[in-house]
Amino acid sequence: MELILDKVSRQYGTKMACSNICLRLTPGVYGLLGANGAGKTTLMRMICGVLKPTSGTITFNQADVHSEAYRDRLGYLPQDFGYYPEFTAQNFLLYLASLKGLSRTTAKKKTLELLSVVSLEKEAKRKIKTFSGGMKQRLGIAQAMLNNPSILVLDEPTAGLDPKERVRFRNLISRLGRERIVLLSTHIVSDVEYIADTIFLMKDGKLLHQGSPQKILQLLEGKVWECLLPPAYAEKLCTEKSFPIVNIRQEEENVLLRLVSSQKPSEDAMAVTATLEDLYLYYFSEEASL
């Protein structure tokens, strides 16, 4: 099973939202990481066949993504998925199952099975308007799974989840990714740090890096430092902006700076282990609020 993107680009007028993207996806969990406007939604919509590339090709097992056969194997949770607030969770899934052409008996069986997969079996008869953000997202994943897809595409599925819901979500995705291609986009690093086998780092429509979290982190090896400095000196370093500062923390009368630099930034700076968060803030420092 493989999904291949070959030199895929998408332009909106003069804006290049995705530029020359080449990817090969086999079963596993893939995290598409990028700041707002990086091109994640555009890329996912092209992968789902909802949007045509301006140039390049996307194929699944050598078939075009606009074929019906592909659509049957695809599950998609768009960013702005519309729920019907007055429906119960179960009726909502039954309704979507009928739209997807499942028979009544299969739909009923599948709906109950999926409500259990996303841990909503006890809420089956509750109206969606009473659900938390996390419960709605899990229901969204359940609807994307109705056709038992080989490719599951989730656009910002963790938006609005609290920490407990995030953990539950991660566990669910890890399980689903064992036998299918799961691609999820986020700008929250911790959501992909533990579950993604491969991370795609996107900026300004381009794919900057791809690889396992460990491989991606090697980019910053030996370049992340922490230094405890008097406030005046720390402020000087920050305003001079000679290094990307990834974190600032007040420590009693001093300031602890975490920064990225290929050289030791000050006499008593300590080299620390890089995290994906450092990497993200390093690449997206203009957009991120430090």
Alpha-carbon span 89 to 131, nearest angstrom: 9
**Per CB under 6 A, which of residues 245..284 are in contact with ligand ATP?**
none
Q: Please pick, from the candidates 5, 25, 34, 77, the single residue that binds ligand ATP as defined by CB under 6 A.
A: 34
The nearer residue to ligand ATP, 46 or 144, going by C-beta atoms, is: 46
Q: Which is nearer to ligand ATP, 35 or 228 (CB)?
A: 35
Single residue of 30, 33, 41, 128 touching ligand ATP by CB under 6 A: 41
Among 1, 2, 7, 12, binds ligand ATP (CB under 6 A): 12
Least distance CB 229 / ligand ATP (angstroms): 34
- Binding positions for ligand ATP, 42-81, rule CB under 6 A: 42
Contacting residue, 3, 8, 17, 93, with ligand ATP by CB under 6 A = 17
User: Largest alpha-carbon pair distance within the chain?
Assistant: 71
Contacts (Cβ under 8 Å, ≥6 apart) of 37: none
Give the burial class of 83: count Cβ atoms within 10 A of its Cβ; 0-12 exposed, 13-18 middle, 19 or more buried. Answer: middle
CB 264, min distance to ligand ATP, A: 35
Q: Which two tokens stand for residue 252?
A: 């009693």
Backbone angles phi, psi at 150, to 5 degrees: -85, -25
Cβ-proximal residues to 71 (8 Å cutoff; 6+ apart), any chain: 49
Side by side, which strands form the sheet with 63-64?
A: 15-25, 3-12, 55-60, 63-64
With respect to ligand ATP, which residue has the nearer C-beta, 35 or 124? 35
CB closer to ligand ATP, 11 vs 91: 11
Identify any residues that bridge with 250 across adjacent strands, giving them in sequence order.
255
Part in contact with ligand ATP (CB under 6 A); list of ranges 12-20, 68-76, 124-132, 146-154: 12-20
Structure tokens at 59: 């194929």
Residue 18 tokens, joined: 């995705």
- Residues 156 and 137: their CA atoms lie apart, in Å, by 10
40 in contact with ligand ATP (CB under 6 A): yes
Shortest Å, Cβ 110 to ligand ATP: 30
Pattern of binders to ligand ATP over 159-198, x per CB under 6 A?
Answer: ----------------------------x-----------
Contact between 189 and 213 (Cβ < 8 Å): no
39 binds ligand ATP (CB under 6 A): yes
Closest CB to ligand ATP among residues 136, 187: 187
Distance CA 198, CA 185 (A): 12
Regarding 15 and contact with ligand ATP (CB under 6 A), the answer is yes
CB count within 10 Å of CB 167 equals: 12
Contacts with ligand ATP by CB under 6 A lie at: 12, 15, 17, 34, 36-42, 187
